[in-house]
Amino acid sequence: MTGKQPKVLISIETEAELLAHAHAIEQDALERYRMLADQMEAHNNPVLAELFRELASHEEKHAAEILSRAGNIALPDLRPSEFKWPGVDSPESAELDLAHYKMTPWHALQMALRAEQRAFAFFDHVVNSAGDPNLKAWAEEFRDEEAEHVELVERLLEKYPEPEPGWDEDDDLPALQD
C-alpha cells in the first residue's frame, strides 16, 4: 500500500459508523505498531523497537480520545467484513511487508507517513461524499487531525536523512552455511 487516495468509493452513512471506523483505524494502527515493535525487539533492533512503541502510544491515545469524544453515540459493533476500507487493510496500519530487521528510523517514519496520508485520504473522501452536515463535520475534524499528524511526521523525518544504499547489507547472512 502507499499513501495514495483510496481507489474504491466508500460510503459511510452515519456518525456512529464513522466513529466506529475512526476508532478502528487508530486501534488497528496501534496493534500494528506493537507487532513491529515486538519484531524489532526479537531481532535486536532496540532503537526501532522504542520508536514503534512510541508510535503505538500515540495511536492508543488517539483511539481513547475518539471513544471519549463519541460521548453518548453508541458505536456499532462491526465484523471485519463490515468495515468499508478502500484498500486491502485498515488505512493507517503500517505495512508489515516492508519491515526489515536492519531498518532505520527513516524507514519507520516513512512507513508512518504513508499510514497517516492514507488515513487523511480516507477521511477526506468521507468529507467529500457526506450528505449529512453532522457526518461531514466529524469527518472534517478527523481529516484535519490526520493532516496535523502528517505534518508532525514530516517534521520528524527532517531529523533523519535517508540511509545510504546498502543499509540492509549483512556480513553474517542467514543463508550462508558452514
Alpha helix ranges (H) inside the chain: 15-42, 46-70, 105-129, 133-157
175 binds another protein (CB under 8 A): yes
User: What Cα–Cα distance (Å) separates residue 155 from each residue in 43, 106, 111?
Assistant: 28, 12, 14
Print burial letters for 154-174: b (CB count within 10 Å at least 16), e (below 16): eebbeeeeeeeeeeeeeeeee
- Round to whole Å and give the CA distance between 159 and 176: 36
**Identity of residue 178:** D
CB of 82 to another protein, least distance (A): 7
Selected range binding another protein among 59-67, 73-81, 114-122, 128-136, rule: CB under 8 A? 73-81
Selected range binding another protein among 60-68, 90-98, 138-146, 155-163, rule: CB under 8 A? 90-98
Print burial letters for 8-20: b (CB count within 10 Å at least 16), e (below 16): eeeebeebbbbbb
CB nearer to another protein: pick between 60 and 89 = 89
Residue 53 CB neighbour total at 10 angstroms: 16
CB nearer to another protein: pick between 88 and 158 = 88
- Among 5, 47, 57, 96, the residue binding another protein under the rule CB under 8 A is 96
Selected range binding another protein among 32-40, 63-71, 147-155, 156-164, rule: CB under 8 A? 32-40
CB nearer to another protein: pick between 84 and 147 = 84
User: Please, what is the angle between helix 15-42 and helix 133-157, to 10°?
Assistant: 20
- Among 44, 68, 133, 176, the residue binding another protein under the rule CB under 8 A is 176
82 binds another protein (CB under 8 A): yes
Question: Grid coordinates in use for 37?
Answer: 515493535
Selected range binding another protein among 54-62, 96-104, 111-119, 136-144, rule: CB under 8 A? 96-104
Residues in touch with another protein (CB under 8 A): 17, 31, 35-36, 38-43, 76-82, 85, 87-89, 96-101, 103, 174-177
